[in-house]
Structure 1
Amino acid sequence: MNMRVYRLSAITLAMSACLSTHAWSGEATVDTKDVEQLRKELGELNNRYEAQSAALQALAQRLQQLESSGQGQARPMHAVNKKMVVADTDTTSGTSNERASASDANEPVIKEAPASRSAEAVYREQNALFNKTFTLEAGVSYSHTDRRQLTLEGFLALDAIFLGNINLDRIQSDITQFDLTGRYGVTDRLQFDLNLPFLYRASTYESGGAAGGSASTLSERDISNAGLGDVSAGAYYRIFPETPTTPDVVWNVRVKAPTGKDPYGIKLRTDPGNSNLVVPDDLPTGNGVWTLSSGLTFVKTIDPAILFANVSYAHNFTRKFDDISGQPNTRTSGEIDLGDAYQLGGGLAFALNERMSMSMSYAHRFTQKSRIKADGQSWTSVVGSDSSAGSLNFGVTYAMTDHLSMVANVGVGVTPDAPDVTVGMKFPYNF
């Protein structure tokens, strides 16, 4: 390309010199038609030179962008990434208007690059991907909780000898949950979803210190149950789309119905071989009340990372039950008022390549105390029903195909009220 430009420049200079020589010689024998022909050829050469210069400049810009893209190849993020597209032009035109059109056509045009699959999967996890399609997601998760408690009823004699009853309790709870979730983006700002959970619960109750002796035989009882959990539906609305300086702001509203087995009225029975061991007849699969929650989600792409945060509030509606007593052979009707909950969370995700990303997040949920009210009595608070559950989560998102993704997550409880460990895997399919 450079040699061609140099040749055009040399021809232009030679023609200019010839014209100048003829002009200054003042020879009367020069034909006017020859002069006009030379001027016409010179004009055409100048037009081609200008067009070639514009094309050369555009190619140089394109090369510089490609080199910059090669240096930052490890940054394939969301739609914030841009690419430069140079339009093809016709450089054979000789008029001034055509030259201007060719110059405009050679200007670089900025277009939005398609979002990487890994970034799309991260946005989908935050319910901030409004792509006007239907997504069906199948998932499975497992959580384990191990609680141990030592209860001493008595006093210390001589500051060294304990006199009284010793009760050693341990409860191990394992919950396996299967989820089927459907999401549909109505517009680029509105999305709905529906979640159907199925639970299998298994708990082991252990207690020692029967009859006040620490060396007594440990008693154990296993309880399990399976069934449909609480079905929920939600709507998500993008209030503000992401800009170079502000994040995506998504407002969500969610309703959860009490379709699972509620925990009220389940009888607690004492083990015949150990008066310290009390176990329930069954295990619940839901909380038994209607829940309305709302919150905000913030998502911002900062190449090569995606930052996200959320805040939400959940209100549990008061509901009356025919039986709220846990005593055998006793039936007491009354109302249940579960405590409301607040949740804060945030984290970040890194795109490792076009199809894989890693994420780290933290979530903390504060739950207020619950209250019960038996018929004919006043409201009383349930001791120990409030909680503060915090968990640290690590995840990997992999886009297996253009339609199917895999999301794996491991959560570790950092407070006593949170599950000790949670492992989950989801497979969203985008139709």
Structure 2
Amino acid sequence: MKFRMLPFAVAAALMATSALAQETQTPATAPAQPTPATADAARDALAKKEGEGDQSALLKQTLTAVDKQYTLIRRNQMQLTYDLSYSYVGEERIVTDIANGNATLFNIENNNSHTVTNTFSADYGVLDNLTANVTLPLISRYADTAARSGMSNSLGDVGVGARWQPFEARRDAPGLTVTSNVRLPTGRSPFKIIAGSGEATGSGVAAATVGLNINKIVDPVALFGSLNFTASLPAKNLWQVNGSRILTRVQPGTSVGFGLGFAYALSYGISTTISFQEAISAGSKLRFADGLEAKTHMQTSGILNMGLGYRVSPKTTVNFSVGIGVTPDSPNLVVGMNLPLSF
């Protein structure tokens, strides 16, 4: 639109200049006319206003808000973030029992799970290239099965992590960030819940994740990708009735995840993102009280995400996202909102 409007502004300036030339030939008693417009004034009027920022800055804010891993905050600065997400899982579960090493079919259950997660996180700039963060999730989960239905509200798994940028960010070079995170089993463990007493709100085990993220801004587009590895500690000293057996120990398998996508700045205030995330988890090892050991199958979870960011102020960009599961082990639907506040 800028290039369409400029000829009209220049034409207006030329007409004003012609009128001024005619006035110089009139008697001195003629009334004074306003200062004529010029081409420079027209360009200034069409230029970006102060405080609007640029698309590169908007893309950096979008990357931070969407994943909180691609850009860092300055030293001694703090950023608080509120995330609200809803996920739905619908599946048919085959209920089996393990006896003498053989699986016996009991029945097929239709399970529906609705989860609302309120996550509060705080980021603090230890150095210009090192950021520490803490996440506190509050989870409400409702499950409905053929046998029972129930709802649980409790704290989820607390996370403590850090992000480190080994090289100074340059406009013509990709940005690189090393991430680490420790997940603490503060939520309700799925291995300790008695049937009918509620739903799990945590993983039940401690886990550590290390990852590598890369992004490059090609104004008005930002490309990003990630790779991470997660290992979990075993859940020991369990005594959970599982069919006709008692579960005593669970060793979750390691997992590898990756993601890629792009963000596009439609304007100084609106941006869009499209990304894909996938996690491949090895099977978990189960041990029962009678000495029997079993192993679950490998799981693959993939989600396609689409987001929209709206810049409500120079420091705040609200992001909305919708995720669709593309593999059987993924949630059917994930809807989220992200609100970062910088100080």
Name the TM-score class by shorter chain. Answer: 0.7 to 0.9
Match of residue 415 from structure 1: 327
Counterpart position of 2:87: 143
Q: Which residue of 2 aligns with 1:300?
A: 216
Aligned to 1:227: 154
Please give the alpha-carbon distance, in whole angstroms, between the structure 2 residues aligned to 1:199 and 1:150.
26
Q: Does the alignment pair 1:247 with 2:174?
A: yes
Pick closer, same or farther for the CA change 1:358–1:263 going to 2, 3 Å: same
Asked if structure 2 preserves the Cα contact closer than 8 Å seen for 1:254 and 1:294, the reply is: yes
| TM-score scaled by length of structure 1 | 0.61
Q: 8 Å contact 2:302–2:326 — kept in the other structure? A: yes
Could you list the runs of 5+ residues in structure 2 that have no partner in the other structure? 1-39, 96-104
The 1:292–1:429 alpha-carbon spacing in structure 2 relative to 1, beyond 3 Å, is same
Instruction: Tell me the equivalent position of 1:370.
Output: 284
Residue 102 of structure 2: aligned partner: none
Aligned-residue RMSD, C-alpha: 3.0
Counterpart mapping for 1:295-334 below 5 A: 295-327=211-243, 332=246, 334=248
| Pairing 1:186–2:186 present | no
Task: Compute the displacement of 1:379 (Å).
Answer: 4.1
State the shift of 1:166 in Å. 10
Closer, same or farther in 2 for the Cα pair 1:398/1:325, shift >3 Å?
same
Measured in 1, the distance between the counterparts of 2:268 and 2:138 equals 33
Mapped contact 2:72–2:163 kept (Cα < 8 A)? no
Identify which of structures 1 and 2 has the higher relative contact order when contacts are C-alpha pairs closer than 8 Å and 6+ apart.
2
Contact (CA 8 Å) 2:65, 2:317: kept in 1 or not?
A: no
Give per-residue Cα distances to partners, 1:101-142, cap 9 Å, x unaligned: xxxxxxxxxxxxxx34x5323234342133332111112100
1:239 Cα deviation (Å)?
1.6
2-structure distance, mates of 1:230, 1:166: 33
Query: Which residue does 1:158 correspond to in 2?
Result: none
Q: Is residue 2:164 matched to residue 1:237?
A: yes
- Decide which of 188, 206, 216 is 1:290's aligned counterpart: 206
- In the TM superposition, residue 192 of structure 1 has moved relative to its aligned partner by 0.7
Q: Is structure 2 residue 265 aligned with structure 1 residue 351?
A: yes
Aligned position for 1:120: 61
Distance 1:173 1:125, change over 3 A: same
> Which residue of the partner structure matches residue 28 of structure 2?
none
Aligned to 1:339: 253
CA distance in 1, matches of 2:114, 2:237: 27
Q: Distance in 1 between matches of 2:89 and 2:282?
A: 21
Alignment equivalent of 1:389, drawn from 301, 306, 309: 301
Q: 1:263 to 1:345 in 2, by over 3 A?
A: same
Which of the two has greater helix per residue? 1
Looking at structure 1, the residues matched to 167 and 66 of structure 2 have their Cα atoms a distance apart, in angstroms, of: 18
Work out the CA distance in 1 between the residues paired with 2:61 and 2:198. 42
> What SS does the aligned partner of 2:274 have?
strand
Does the aligned pair in 1 maintain the 2:66–2:338 contact within 8 Å? no
Judged with a 3 Å threshold, the aligned counterparts in structure 2 of structure 1 residues 336 and 148 are, in CA distance, closer, same or farther, namely: closer
Instruction: Tell me, in whole angstroms, the C-alpha distance in 1 between the residues paired with 2:321 and 2:79.
Output: 19
**Which residue of structure 2 lines up, in the alignment, with residue 11 of structure 1?**
none
- Structure 1 residue 130 corresponds to structure 2 residue 108: no
Structure 1 residue 244, shift from structure 2 partner: 4.5
What does residue 424 of structure 1 align with? 336
Q: Deviations over 1:181-214 (max 9, x none)?
A: 00112222000110000111111113xxxxxxxx
Q: What is the match of residue 55 of structure 2?
A: 77
Report which stretch shifted further, 312-321 or 372-381. 372-381
Identify if the C-alpha distance between structure 1 residues 262 and 166 changes in structure 2 by more than 3 Å, giving closer, same or farther: closer
Output the CA distance in 1 between the equivalents of 2:232 and 2:94.
32
2:109 to 143, 163, 169: 169
Residue pair 2:269, 2:311 contacting (<8 A) in 1 also: yes
Q: Which runs of 5+ in 1 are unaligned?
A: 1-61, 79-114, 152-164, 207-219, 269-279
Q: Once the two structures are superposed, what CA deviation does each residue of 1:298-342 show, in whole Å capped at 9, x if it has no partner?
A: 0100111001100001100123124133358x8x57322011111
Aligned residues of 2:62 and 2:263 also touching (Cα < 8 A): no
Aligned with 1:123: secondary structure? helix
Deviation at 1:146, TM superposition (A): 1.1
C-alpha separation in 2, matches of 1:265 and 1:288: 8
CA distance in 2, matches of 1:377, 1:249: 47
CA contact (8 A) 2:286 2:294 kept: yes
In the TM superposition, 1:195-234 aligns within 5 A as 195-206=135-146, 221-234=148-161
Identity %: 24
2:62 match: secondary structure: helix
Separation in structure 1 between the aligned mates of residue 290 and residue 229 of structure 2, nearest angstrom = 31
Quick one: distance in 2 between partners of 1:245 and 1:398? 26
**Larger radius of gyration between Structure 1 and Structure 2:** 1
> Whole-Å Cα distance in 1 between the matches of residues 106 and 243 of structure 2?
24
How many equivalent residue pairs?
289
When normalised by structure 2's length, the TM-score is 0.76
Is the contact made by 2:65 and 2:338 (CA closer than 8 Å) also made in structure 1?
no
Amino acid at match of 2:64: Y
